[in-house]
Amino acid sequence: MIDAPSVPERFRFLLDAARPPTGGVALSAIEAEVTPLLPLLTELPIEERSRGDFDSFQFRECFTVLMLLGRRLALLDLTPSAAVQVVDLALSSIESAEQPSTDAFQRRARTAVVEGFVRGREERVSEDAQLRASRSVRPLRMDSNTFALIMSGVHEPLALSEHVDALGRAMLDADASIAIVELSQLGEPNRDRARAIFAADEVARMLGAVCIFSGVDPRWRSAAADARIHVDELQVVPTLAKALERARTLETQADAAANPKWRALLDRLRR
């Protein structure tokens, strides 16, 4: 006597036979996402599935898990139609021809998967936008002695720390002594982001350099206070233009201090 295939085995067979368009995602990756859900679907009473009474905790839990499955399929970069096809295969794997119709349950299940898929797609679009924004940020060389870090949008604290480190490396390689960090277009200030971005001052000090911050509005001051950073002890100016002016002033002062005799002689010759 041959044992009937298990539900996971039936799903694997159906998935392999249907081969939905996955955009290059391995069927094994889809199987890994769906298989843990199958026991939960199997435990749902067939009578309630066919009756359309989905108010019990068991069904609410099931639809929540289906939403999470939809999210995961979106993060795998499946298309909406492929995600719906996958959940149809999962539902087919738990049913048999002898069972009564469960069309209402299947519709609710598809709806839950689509809702989760939409949320997952929004997450992926947001992540991709953040990644593109992160990759586009580079320290800008303003002159021979000054680099600026100008950012816009929302960046995670880790990304901000990486940008600050890149600023430090650029200054070290060029033997620059002035850094400018522009914050006016940087979004969603909080304690962790403030720690990451204001660490540029410490990086500059370690290099024997100066860091000037511009665009530090009340939101960033509040976030800095939450991080126990004393903004008033830093070099802060209202705008990027003012930061460039401050940088030129500091550079002029440094040149004068480094070459006082030559400056004095030049002043005498100009008289």
| Predicted confidence (pLDDT) at residue 1 exceeds the cutoff of 50 | no
Q: Determine what percent of the chain is predicted with pLDDT higher than 70.
A: 84
120-156 pLDDT tens trace: 988 887 777 666 655 656 899 998 899 999 988 888 8
Q: What is the dihedral of CA 83, 85, 89, 92, to 10 degrees?
A: 120
Phi, psi of 212, deg, nearest 5: -110, 125
96 has pLDDT over 70: no
In a domain, 21, yes or no: yes
| Full-model pTM | 0.53
Residue range 168-189, pLDDT digits in tens: 999 999 999 999 999 999 989 9
Q: Residues 195-220: what's their mean pLDDT? A: 95
- Pair (194, 104) in one structural domain: no
Please indicate, yes or no, whether residues 178 and 245 belong to a single structural domain of this protein: yes
Domain total for the chain? 2
Nearest to 131, CA basis, from 149, 148, 150, 155: 155
Residues 113 and 183 in one domain: no
Which residues span the domain enclosing 167? 140-270
Q: Which of 87, 113, 131 is the last residue of a domain?
A: 131
Do 262 and 149 share a domain, yes or no? yes
pLDDT at position 231 is 94
Of 63-67, 226-230, 248-252, 258-262, the range with the lowest mean pLDDT is: 258-262
* Domain boundary residue, one of 92, 111, 131: 131
Looking at residue 243, which CATH number applies to its domain? 3.30.750.24
Task: Report the side by side order of strands in the sheet with 140-143.
Answer: 140-143, 146-150, 178-182, 210-214, 235-237
The Cα 192–Cα 149 span in angstroms is: 18
